[in-house]
Amino acid sequence: MSDKGNQDSDAKSKDGKSEESKSSSASGVDGLASAFMKSLNLDKEGPKLESVLDEVSFEGIAKFIASDKCKKIITMAGAGISTSAGIPDFRSPGSGLYDNLEKYNLPNPQAIFYLDYFDENPEPFFVLCKELWPGTVKPTPCHYFIRLLERKKKLLTHFTQNIDTLERTTGLSDDKLVEAHGSFKSGHCRLCKEKYSQDWLKEKIFSDEKSPIPKCEKEGCEGVVKPDIVFFGESLGSNFLTHIKDFDECDCLIVMGTSLVVQPFASLTGRVKEDTPRLYINLEDSTKNDFLAQLYGSGFNFDGDDNIRDVFKQSTCDDGCYALADLIGWGDELRALVKEEHARLDKEGGAAGKL
């Protein structure tokens, strides 16, 4: 803004709005219009983008990852990478956690993850905690594929929606891990903000009491201690914003086991460059009917005539990762890593989720 603009920043326009406010509104409208034009492929100006892949296919993605051109992979994961470990996802009909919450007579399944409902009735959440708590389950082959990407010096960052801490169990480095929805590694009192450890929380939640609700032990405070899991409406994990800039450097995006419904996590797929290869491994393509994803340019374009980078692999996450590793030439190493690490965890008592 110019010096004159600074001097006149408080000046009001004739309709009562500041010039700055009008400019912001216009910018917002222009941004929405631009996104809309992009979603309809009406913004095609300038030279046509060329694909960095030899072929836009699963095999083409594998060949690109194996090459020296691919050095900064970002992975994004949801509950689907942990289901083979025995942790249920949220939305699968019949077996998902949302379907299994009916016994709590919630106003709606998602209510268990809303702060207003939690403050009014925290018991259902802590009963559910026993199902979600990091316990004796082991990381899946998909988790170890992510760890293998780091070992191969290909992984830039791993973004996860999961709160099971299984990535940590594989030994994935802290500086590579973004737990967007938090985890059980700590907790805070809802009243005084006193911090508590994972071990303290576990002792209280798994006590012999009929309805174990962790209460703050600070003198004069009896607030409920909530694990540092991100509820609807809360800010995402502390390092989420710090690592958003990583998408500018990303040269390959791999998305696994997520329906890409929850925002703002889902919109991250649109933050990479327009020619960056994107691989989506999931049991179904849940992105094609996502209007908002298409509108804001983050939607995949698997079947488009102008698709130069998007590939959908319909499979379980484990099968997809094994197939990808085999094509790259890492299959034997991945299988050996899974076997070795599972044996180690069995020897240590299956202590997954330790920090």
* Half-sphere exposure of residue 355: CA atoms within 13 angstroms, side-chain side: 14
Residues 6+ apart with CB under 8 A from 35: 295, 296, 297
Residues facing residue 225 across a β-bridge: 189
Give backbone dihedrals phi and psi of 195, rounded to 5 degrees, phi first.
-90, 140
For residues 126 and 104, the answer to whether their CB atoms sit within 8 Å is no
In 3D, which of 74, 77, 73 has the Cα closest to residue 87?
A: 77
> Which two tokens mark 71?
């050095």
For residues 65 and 328, the answer to whether their CB atoms sit within 8 Å is yes
The catalytic residue positions are 181
Q: Which residue has the tokens 């991945």?
A: 334
| CA–CA separation, 306 and 308 (whole Å) | 6
- What sign results for the dihedral spanned by CA atoms 330, 331, 335, 336? negative
Show the DSSP H helices in 3-57 as ranges. Answer: 3-7, 19-39
In 3D, which of 145, 159, 133, 137 has the Cα closest to residue 246?
A: 159
